[in-house]
Structure 1
């Protein structure tokens, strides 16, 4: 079922069971920075990028190596080499995602991102694991996977923000590819490019939401109601610090950048703790210059 209003969402949400297993990934993969730089093409619709900032490739590589090491505390992590011709490749979750037995490959808006979808090494690696490559069907639409689609795997629900990076046709294609029971489509606020910058669902038990990232205020209100008592509501400064660009890779820890963690108030940290989550923070200041943060770096393997 695909819905487009808060009442229909809340009614459907209440009827869906919570799965005992599969709320978090079995493993994850990253793509390392290579000659780290900012993608000029992507900056056209990513307000979190500033092409005027100098970048330090060595610092980005060091941050990324530490990220892989730290995430390995919660699950197995593989890292693929980056491609200097694809500077946004450090954010693979927009291009690659999985369901058991299948590697889903998205449809990217920008040519600099479409190059990533052609990587034969990643496809071959998943073939060795027994995952069939499953590109989204051809057509004149855009669907940037778990950048545009935030998934509650415990309930099999997708939250799909429509923007230049995902249209309604793309939302339907992802709904079908992921085999979701419910997808809620809504417009992101003007200037927002991906849902995972304004919303995180942590292991199906908690939500982090930035209300000013949505075109309709009823959307974040309904999400907060659905995850009542376990929702962290961000202000604009916290959103801009990437506090919603977080992920749970185990049932007991929410990962985010050091900048994001520092932006949270004590009461917000307490809300996450009451839902069973400690916070894992990793310094990603250099990587964040490319317009994404920790969650964007992580492609989950289910």
Structure 2
């Protein structure tokens, strides 16, 4: 994770960003701190990246890489405003603990990749249509040695996979069908017949932008109906308030890069 110490909406590269809407930087830090404390309270270890001046979107740490079995496939951002973030993340993975693979193709890390180790023997779901380019899916497959299923995003409000779909345990997902093409919806229904399906209100509240450890699901507090669905399915919803960070087009998952050894 990376503190939103320098967070601001200084440009608009997704439909949620409004440069005329004020951001309460102090409140953003407080809300982010609460998210970090929630993860620690659930027993997870949190590593911190130092925020860099001039990179207001660094708080969305999920976009910096995609990690499977100790291998980090690095990011290459679509928009110039975020391009310098990639090097900061690469520095983190430049250690004996990780094997870093630099990308040649445009991709935005876990923003557009999700991993399910027990789904069909280990499966990567990969989004495209707005940020990550389709050739990056093949590059990720070669880098990580896991089959990749390409999922086409068609609604610009759901510009990353992680605002439309999330893994909730090692073999199942929750998703919003309206974010995807008709053909992709058919693929998801075939692969995940037991998936939890979110409605418009859940999706627009950034409810799909969540993290789960297979038991506890940390999600935006505005997604109340989705929280009810998750609870009915046997998970424990853990709501957090991230209204300030929503102004940049992200929520819980955007703030968290998952480190899979």
- Same fold judged by TM-score > 0.5? yes
Q: Is residue 209 of structure 1 aligned with residue 209 of structure 2?
A: no
Which one is further off, 94-103 or 79-88? 94-103
Q: Any gaps of 5 or more consecutive residues in structure 1?
A: 1-29
Match of 2:38 in 1: 70
Q: 1:187, 1:100 → 2: CA distance?
A: 26
Match of 1:264 in 2: 226
Q: How does 1:223-238 map to 2 (within 5 A)?
A: 223-229=188-194, 231-238=195-202
Q: Once the 2 structures are TM-superposed, how far is the Cα of residue 205 of structure 1 from its aligned partner?
A: 3.8
Which of structures 1 and 2 has the larger relative contact order (alpha carbons within 8 angstroms, sep 6+)? 1
Q: Select which of 76, 84, 98 maps to 1:115.
A: 84
Match of 2:249 in 1: 291
1:79/1:235 Cα in 2 relative to 1: closer, same or farther (>3 Å)? same
Q: 2:233, 2:62 → 1: CA distance?
A: 24
Match of 2:102 in 1: 135
Q: 2:152, 2:5 → 1: CA distance?
A: 34
Q: How does 1:169-188 map to 2 (within 5 A)?
A: 169-180=135-146, 182-188=147-153
Q: 1:36, 1:253 → 2: CA distance?
A: 28
Map Cα deviations across residues 162-186 of structure 1 (whole Å, 9 max, x no partner). 1131122111112222221x21113
Secondary structure of the residue aligned to 2:137 is helix
Q: How does 1:139-150 map to 2 (within 5 A)?
A: 141-150=105-114
On the 8 A contact 1:48/1:289 being kept in 2, the answer is yes
Q: Select which of 92, 97, 113 maps to 2:61.
A: 92
Q: Once the 2 structures are TM-superposed, how far is the Cα of residue 116 of structure 1 from its aligned partner?
A: 0.8
Match of 2:9 in 1: 38
Q: Once the 2 structures are TM-superposed, how far is the Cα of residue 61 of structure 1 from its aligned partner?
A: 0.6
Q: Once the 2 structures are TM-superposed, how far is the Cα of residue 272 of structure 1 from its aligned partner?
A: 3.0
Task: Say how many residue pairs are matched.
Answer: 256
Q: 1:74, 1:82 → 2: CA distance?
A: 24
Return the index of the structure with the highest Cα Rg: 1
Q: 2:43, 2:189 → 1: CA distance?
A: 27
Q: Once the 2 structures are TM-superposed, how far is the Cα of residue 89 of structure 1 from its aligned partner?
A: 0.6
On the 8 A contact 1:242/1:293 being kept in 2, the answer is yes
Q: Select which of 80, 83, 104 maps to 2:73.
A: 104
On the 8 A contact 1:96/1:145 being kept in 2, the answer is yes
Q: 2:140, 2:128 → 1: CA distance?
A: 12
1:186/1:206 Cα in 2 relative to 1: closer, same or farther (>3 Å)? closer
Q: 1:57, 1:206 → 2: CA distance?
A: 36
Q: Once the 2 structures are TM-superposed, how far is the Cα of residue 127 of structure 1 from its aligned partner?
A: 3.7
1:194/1:116 Cα in 2 relative to 1: closer, same or farther (>3 Å)? same
Q: 2:252, 2:171 → 1: CA distance?
A: 20
Q: Any gaps of 5 or more consecutive residues in structure 2?
A: none
Structure having the higher strand fraction is 1
